[in-house]
Amino acid sequence: MTKLLGISGSLRTDATNTKLIREAARLFGDATYVEADLNIPLYNGDDEDRDGLPAAVQTLVQQITEADAVLISTPEYNSGITGVLKNALDWVSRSKPTPWTNKPVAVMSAAAGRAGGIRAQTMLRNCMTPFNVRLVAASEVAIASSGKEFDENGQLINERYQVSASRLMDALKAEIEHSN
């Protein structure tokens, strides 16, 4: 069975980005789903020189390695991705070998603003460029006014968003098959 890893750029308990990756995993269909915990130390080169990768980062690297595909959703903070997400990407980039090479990755965003965090999503794609992942970014999933777009079960209310998320998951499935 396909193994999906979800990475949310928000640590909030009620984070709409976490709801979005869970919803995307549901729409993907038959798959096992694991969620990353980005509550990891801030990157500090001194700490890395002394201790190597923290245990929480090693866990994340292992989760990426074991996943057939990764779903990442980022909020938009001041036109960019969150420090939490960038910190995690920076730590993982210090792992040798990298777990990212040829990994199918679907990117999404959810934000309070009218553009649904698309500027952050564009930045996320740029930040992933050095990792040689197989990035799936169409159809575009950028949930605007995200606090109002999920019902009490965490499902997307607006059918238009459900359709675009389903299409993105179809594209991800095709990418997974292509890489097998």
Ligand X SMILES: Cc1cc2nc3c(=O)[nH]c(=O)nc-3n(C[C@H](O)[C@H](O)[C@H](O)COP(=O)(O)O)c2cc1C
Q: Is 111 in the site for ligand X (CB under 6 A)?
A: yes
Cα distance between residue 21 and residue 134, in whole Å: 18
- The residue number with the shortest CB distance to ligand X is 113
Q: Is 177 left (phi over 0), alpha (psi -120 to 50) or beta?
A: alpha
**Shortest reach from residue 87's CB to ligand X, in Å:** 15
Q: How many helices (H) and strands (E) does the chain have?
A: 6, 6
**Taking CB under 6 A as the criterion, which residues in 113-152 touch ligand X?**
113, 117, 146-147
Q: Is 54 in the site for ligand X (CB under 6 A)?
A: no
CB–CB of 75/9 below 8 Å?
yes
Stretch that binds ligand X, among 76-84, 93-101, 127-135, 157-165 (CB under 6 A): 76-84
Q: Which is nearer to ligand X, 31 or 112 (CB)?
A: 112
Question: Could you give phi then psi for residue 174, rounded to 5 degrees?
Answer: -60, -40
Residues contributing to the site for ligand X (CB under 6 A): 10, 12, 15-17, 75-79, 110-113, 117, 146-147
